[in-house]
Chain A
Amino acid sequence: MTASEGDATDVADLTGSLVGFARTLRAAGVAATHDRVHATVAAAGALDVTNRTDVYWAGRLTLCSGPEDIERYDRAFAAYFNGQLAPPMRRVPPVSVVRPVAVPGSEQSGSRQSDEETVPASTASRAEVLRHRDLAALTSAERDEVRRLIEAIDPVGEPRWSRRHRPSHGGALDPRRTVRAMLRQGGEPVRLERRTRRVRPRRLVLVVDVSGSMQPYADPMLRFAHATARRRPGTEVFTVGTRLTRVTREIRDRDPSVALAAVTRAVPDWSGGTRLGELLKAFLDRWGQRGLARGAVVVIASDGWERGDAALLGEQMARLNRLAHRVVWSNPHRGQPGYAPMTAGMLAALPHVDSFVDGHSLAALQGLATVMSGVVGREVAHA
Chain B
Amino acid sequence: MTSPSDLAERLEAQGYLPDEGVATAAYLAIVMHRPLFCEGDAGVGKTSLATALAATLQAPLIRLQCYEGLDAAQALYDWDFPRQLLHLRAAEAAGVTDADRLEAELYDRRFLVARPLLQALETTPSVLLVDEVDRADDEFEAFLLEVLSDWTISIPELGTIRAEVPPVVVVTSNRTREVHDALKRRCLYHWLDHPTFDREVEIIRRRLPDVTQELAEGVARVARDLRQEDLLKTPGVAESLDWAEALLALGARDLDPDKAAASLGAFLKYREDQERVSSRLAEWAAAG
Q: Give me the interface of A with B, judged by CB distance under 8 Å.
A: 1-2, 31, 33, 35-36, 39, 42-43, 46-48, 53-54, 57-58, 60-62, 64-67, 70, 162-164, 175-176, 179-180, 182-183, 186-187, 233-234, 248, 285, 289-292, 294
Contacts and interface: CB of A to CB of B under 8 A. Distances in A.
B185 interface: yes
B69 A163 contact: yes
Interface stretch (B56-64, B80-88, B247-255): B80-88
A33 B182 CA distance: 12
B69 A57 contact: no
A290 B24 contact: no
A198 to B, nearest CB: 9
Contacts of B142: none
Contacts of A61: 24-25, 28, 188-190
B158 to A, nearest CB: 15
A98 to B, nearest CB: 30
B32 A187 contact: no
A67 B181 CA distance: 14
A2 B30 CA distance: 14
B38 to A, nearest CB: 11
B73 interface: yes
Given A57-B21, A179-B82, A47 B28 contact: yes
A162 B137 CA distance: 10
B188 A183 contact: no
Contact of B24 (A54, A65, A175): A54
B28 A43 contact: yes
Interface string B1-44: 01110000000000000001100110110011010000100000
Contact of A43 (B139, B176, B188): B188
B88 to A, nearest CB: 5
A61 B23 CA distance: 12
Q: Is the interface of A mostly helix, strand, loop or mixed?
A: helix
Contacts of A292: 176-177
Given A179-B81, A291-B174, 16 more contacts: A1-B2, A31-B181, A43-B28, A54-B4, A57-B24, A57-B28, A58-B28, A61-B25, A70-B191, A163-B69, A179-B82, A186-B88, A186-B92, A234-B177, A248-B178, A292-B177
21 contacts: A1-B3, A39-B188, A42-B32, A47-B3, A47-B28, A57-B4, A60-B189, A66-B39, A162-B69, A163-B67, A163-B68, A179-B84, A182-B85, A183-B84, A183-B106, A187-B85, A248-B178, A285-B230, A290-B174, A292-B177, A294-B176
Q: How many residues of B sit at the interface, in one of the four size bands? A: 35 or more
B180 to A, nearest CB: 10
Interface in B112-152: 134-135, 137-139
A292 B178 CA distance: 9
User: Which of B68, B138, B178: most chain A CB closer than 10 A?
Assistant: B178
B248 to A, nearest CB: 31
Nearest to B180: A233
A46 B24 CA distance: 10
A180 B80 CA distance: 10
A187 B89 contact: yes
B81 A180 contact: yes
A67 B39 contact: yes
Contacts of A36: 185
Contacts of B191: 64, 66-67, 70
Contacts of B230: 285
Contacts of B185: 33, 35-36, 65
Contacts of A57: 4, 20-21, 24-25, 28
Contacts of A1: 2-3
B232 interface: yes
Contacts of A66: 39, 189, 191
A183 B88 contact: yes
A100 B203 CA distance: 61
B31 A46 contact: yes
Nearest to A290: B176
A46 B178 CA distance: 29
Given A33-B185, A42-B32, A164 B69 contact: yes
A285 to B, nearest CB: 8
B2 A62 contact: no
Leading 7 A-B pairs by shortest Cβ distance: A291-B176, A163-B69, A179-B81, A57-B24, A61-B188, A187-B88, A290-B176
B181 A65 contact: yes
A54 B68 CA distance: 38
B280 interface: no
Nearest to A43: B28
Contacts of B4: 47, 54, 57
Nearest to B103: A183
A180 to B, nearest CB: 7
A1 B2 CA distance: 6
Interface in B175-204: 175-178, 181, 184-185, 188-191
A62 B4 CA distance: 16
B71 interface: yes
B85 A183 contact: yes
Contacts of A186: 88, 92
Given A162-B68, A187-B85, A46 B28 contact: yes
Contacts of A180: 79, 81
